[in-house]
A and B are shown apart, each in its own frame.
Chain A
């Protein structure tokens, strides 16, 4: 045992000293932060102002389009995130108006095109400016033909080179459709305001959960989180396995390619060697994961506190509050720890064994491919499991040991049948024992092998045959 721990200790220290480890630890929270803040930042700073011209032969619709574009800018200002202040204040501080600009700006027609040109000629002259890319370029041109109105077959021409950003087109379409409807209601003698009120009607709906205690059946945010939080854990397990898999592969390959393996094997048994590596790298993974969880928990706590201080709890604060209470007082964490440990040992054993079969990183990467496919499956299936946590797909996958940890993590919050929990756990644990035995056998033969990685049939012979190293 001392030797196993010595190997584990060296493995841990050597990995912790690498730049990759610290990058991994720091990059994750940074990525989370960036992904949380970047869209808002980009929306504020990086979306270009779309300039457009309107040529309205009817003279009826141009003011409506311009007003809609301005209203869109006002709404954007209101939605812009408030600069957070730790001092409680009755009014949140909005960024100054010029920082949040409208997405769209109507520019007047160039003087040489102003006046009532034939639409065909106007469009032909505008085309080059619509197609170009410079500062002078126009994003779009809205050409309203003569006779445009409800019942007319004359189409509005929306000229735009950018087919990806349909926001202006949608705005124009929405605005004018509403106008057409208004005119139509008026023609039919209906009161438009009555119709608006009617359309605004919504039925009240209350979400109730029969599994909750009487009196508190109402489904709150925390309940939804309880159902979805496991997905987060599944991602974490997946990321953790993914992050250390390379480490596991490489660490055996270093000893193999340096032929250090022989010195090791003259000092320890293959089993001690393998277990030492497994434990050492598991420790690395745990440190990384705790750092990630810790930083997420920290951010959540901080959010709750600032939300509690601010008079109005923002959405994020509420979610954080729910998350914190969820993590504090539930049995999800122990369940998570169990499935995490099982999932980790299962995959780590496989990766170590693969490493023992290869002499170079390149060979290892060839073997990684199929393993990655196996690992992708839970990731793809994850959206479906929480929706029907006790359905046939989830139940079925629970019995496949490589997927049990992923699927059961997702299911624990939905109270799966106890016999399934126990049954799948026993299957999983037996599978791990069997797998570690097989891995140990292949490992013993694999680590001394040089040259090509063995064929699959050869591996089977190693497992069942009497081959000794």
Chain B
């Protein structure tokens, strides 16, 4: 694994007696696209704020870009907060340039970079527009650009896709992939699994302030048993005798679902059917989606928390 740009060790945050985050440990390797998943109220934003030293953990330690506090390496970090907003009366380029100068970019260079970024991301004609005149999607793009205008090594995006239409979500995905291609590390939180599935090298799932999964997308999928959908004329009950079969159920007449034990090859079901002489009309092995994994991992908690 590459050098870690971020490492949390047993980080907890209490508000009074209420535990917002408990015992959170993980590390993010350099150059990785790191997804931070979890239902509402799982403690994602609190964790990100602690990483940025906006909030202080009650206990535990955070090492970021080799420093013990984000305050020391502010200029090398980019941050897009969950709730989006801009200075309404400022022009688009001026907002981007302003945040870049606050991160240590010289004024003239910041101005040039702001214009270049807007141009590259299709907002060149809106550079002189006041941000209050921009559409929500455009404003959000401006904000993302403002958070990366100083070319940070580590970019933290809190819910960057929320509120964007599919086209703009695609544009933002490209931007994130572009950052990765240039060797930057990106941590983003989301509860839209498709983005995580497409983008992430590495995932962390939180629920009720605790980590409940960490690993790659494939690791996550392996958490759920693979399923096989079968159609047949006749009873498939004899399949239960095969090894590796966890459960068998008839969803509708003639349509069956087999849940396999983890590690079982779906092909063995097909082979078993031939051996047993069962009259199959269709066979489909499905990979569990990240969505299923997410619901499996946090569904109960999310419902609990929402109640």
User: Residues of A at under 8 Å CB distance from B?
Assistant: 3, 6-7, 10, 14, 17-18, 254, 257-260, 262-269, 448, 468-469
The 7 closest A-B pairs by CB, nearest first: A258-B85, A259-B83, A262-B81, A266-B79, A267-B102, A468-B56, A265-B54
Q: Quick check: B86 and A6 within 8 Å, CB to CB?
A: no
Please, which residues of chain A bring their CB within 8 A of the CB of B70? 266
Max chain B C-beta neighbours (<10 A), residue from A10, A18, A264 = A10
Residue of B nearest to A269 (CB): B71
Q: Quick check: A263 and B147 within 8 Å, CB to CB?
A: yes
The reply on B111 being an interface residue by CB < 8 A is no
Please, which residues of chain A bring their CB within 8 A of the CB of B99? 263, 267
User: What's the Cα separation between A84 and B121 when bound, in Å?
Assistant: 65
CB < 8 Å neighbour of A17 from B71, B89, B146:
B89
User: What's the Cα separation between A258 and B82 when bound, in Å?
Assistant: 11
Residue of A nearest to B74 (CB): A267
User: What's the Cα separation between A263 and B100 when bound, in Å?
Assistant: 11
In the complex, what's the smallest C-beta–C-beta distance from A279 to chain B, in angstroms?
A: 15
Q: Quick check: B54 and A14 within 8 Å, CB to CB?
A: no
Q: Quick check: B98 and A266 within 8 Å, CB to CB?
A: no
In the complex, what's the smallest C-beta–C-beta distance from A342 to chain B, in angstroms?
A: 29
In the complex, what's the smallest C-beta–C-beta distance from B81 to chain A, in angstroms?
A: 4
CB < 8 Å neighbour of B87 from A254, A266, A267, A469:
A254
Residue of B nearest to A268 (CB): B102
CB < 8 Å neighbour of A262 from B49, B77, B87:
B49
Within 8 A of A (CB), among B82-119: 82-90, 98-99, 101-103
A10-B98, A263-B146, A267-B103 known; A469-B85 Cβ under 8 A: no
Chain B, 64-86, contact with A by CB distance < 8 Å: what is the 0/1 string?
A: 00000011001001011111111
List 16 additional contacts besides A18-B89, A265-B52; criterion CB under 8 Å.
Answer: A17-B89, A254-B88, A257-B85, A258-B86, A259-B82, A260-B85, A262-B54, A262-B81, A263-B99, A263-B146, A264-B102, A266-B70, A266-B74, A267-B103, A268-B74, A268-B102
The reply on B223 being an interface residue by CB < 8 A is no
Residue of B nearest to A273 (CB): B102
Please, which residues of chain B bring their CB within 8 A of the CB of A267? 74, 99, 102-103
Q: Quick check: A14 and B90 within 8 Å, CB to CB?
A: yes
CB < 8 Å neighbour of A259 from B85, B88, B103, B146:
B85
Q: Quick check: A262 and B98 within 8 Å, CB to CB?
A: no
Residue of A nearest to B52 (CB): A266
User: What's the Cα separation between A258 and B90 when bound, in Å?
Assistant: 13
Please, which residues of chain B bring their CB within 8 A of the CB of A266? 52, 54, 70, 74, 77, 79
User: What's the Cα separation between A262 and B85 when bound, in Å?
Assistant: 10
Please, which residues of chain B bring their CB within 8 A of the CB of A264? 102
Please, which residues of chain A bring their CB within 8 A of the CB of B101? 6
User: What's the Cα separation between A3 and B105 when bound, in Å?
Assistant: 11
In the complex, the number of residue pairs spanning A and B with C-beta atoms less than 8 Å apart equals 60
Q: Quick check: A6 and B98 within 8 Å, CB to CB?
A: yes
Q: Quick check: B55 and A262 within 8 Å, CB to CB?
A: no
Q: List 9 A-B contacts (CB under 8 A).
A: A6-B98, A18-B89, A258-B86, A259-B85, A263-B80, A265-B52, A266-B70, A469-B54, A469-B55
In the complex, what's the smallest C-beta–C-beta distance from B104 to chain A, in angstroms?
A: 8
Please, which residues of chain A bring their CB within 8 A of the CB of B54? 262, 265-266, 448, 469
Q: Quick check: B89 and A3 within 8 Å, CB to CB?
A: no
Please, which residues of chain A bring their CB within 8 A of the CB of B88? 254, 258
Residue of B nearest to A14 (CB): B89
Q: Quick check: B56 and A262 within 8 Å, CB to CB?
A: no
Q: Quick check: A448 and B55 within 8 Å, CB to CB?
A: yes
Residue of B nearest to A18 (CB): B89
Max chain A C-beta neighbours (<10 A), residue from B49, B52, B85, B87 = B85
Please, which residues of chain B bring their CB within 8 A of the CB of A259? 81-85
Residue of B nearest to A7 (CB): B102
Q: Quick check: A3 and B102 within 8 Å, CB to CB?
A: yes
Residue of B nearest to A267 (CB): B102
In the complex, what's the smallest C-beta–C-beta distance from B295 to chain A, in angstroms?
A: 29
Q: Quick check: B89 and A258 within 8 Å, CB to CB?
A: no
Please, which residues of chain A bring their CB within 8 A of the CB of B146? 263
Q: Quick check: B79 and A263 within 8 Å, CB to CB?
A: yes
In the complex, what's the smallest C-beta–C-beta distance from B273 to chain A, in angstroms?
A: 57
User: What's the Cα separation between A467 and B102 when bound, in Å?
Assistant: 28
In the complex, what's the smallest C-beta–C-beta distance from A147 to chain B, in angstroms?
A: 80
Q: Quick check: A262 and B102 within 8 Å, CB to CB?
A: no
User: What's the Cα separation between A268 and B83 when bound, in Å?
Assistant: 19
In the complex, what's the smallest C-beta–C-beta distance from A150 to chain B, in angstroms?
A: 77
Please, which residues of chain A bring their CB within 8 A of the CB of B83? 259, 262
In the complex, what's the smallest C-beta–C-beta distance from B88 to chain A, in angstroms?
A: 8
Please, which residues of chain A bring their CB within 8 A of the CB of B74? 266-268
User: What's the Cα separation between A97 and B85 when bound, in Å?
Assistant: 66
Please, which residues of chain B bring their CB within 8 A of the CB of A262? 49, 54, 79, 81, 83
User: What's the Cα separation between A266 and B146 when bound, in Å?
Assistant: 13
In the complex, what's the smallest C-beta–C-beta distance from A134 to chain B, in angstroms?
A: 53
Max chain B C-beta neighbours (<10 A), residue from A7, A257, A469 = A469
In the complex, what's the smallest C-beta–C-beta distance from B200 to chain A, in angstroms?
A: 22
User: What's the Cα separation between A6 and B81 when bound, in Å?
Assistant: 21
Chain B, 117-146, contact with A by CB distance < 8 Å: what is the 0/1 string?
A: 000000000000000000000000000001
Residue of A nearest to B83 (CB): A259
User: What's the Cα separation between A469 and B57 when bound, in Å?
Assistant: 9
In the complex, what's the smallest C-beta–C-beta distance from A316 to chain B, in angstroms?
A: 43
Please, which residues of chain B bring their CB within 8 A of the CB of A448? 54-55
Max chain A C-beta neighbours (<10 A), residue from B77, B81, B98, B101 = B81
Residue of B nearest to A10 (CB): B98
In the complex, what's the smallest C-beta–C-beta distance from B241 to chain A, in angstroms?
A: 59
Residue of A nearest to B55 (CB): A469
User: What's the Cα separation between A258 and B103 when bound, in Å?
Assistant: 20
User: What's the Cα separation between A77 and B100 when bound, in Å?
Assistant: 69
Max chain A C-beta neighbours (<10 A), residue from B52, B54, B89, B147 = B54
User: What's the Cα separation between A403 and B85 when bound, in Å?
Assistant: 39
User: What's the Cα separation between A411 and B84 when bound, in Å?
Assistant: 51
User: What's the Cα separation between A265 and B54 when bound, in Å?
Assistant: 6
In the complex, what's the smallest C-beta–C-beta distance from A377 to chain B, in angstroms?
A: 36
In the complex, what's the smallest C-beta–C-beta distance from B187 to chain A, in angstroms?
A: 13
Please, which residues of chain B bring their CB within 8 A of the CB of A265? 52, 54
User: What's the Cα separation between A267 and B77 when bound, in Å?
Assistant: 9
CB < 8 Å neighbour of A14 from B56, B79, B87:
B87
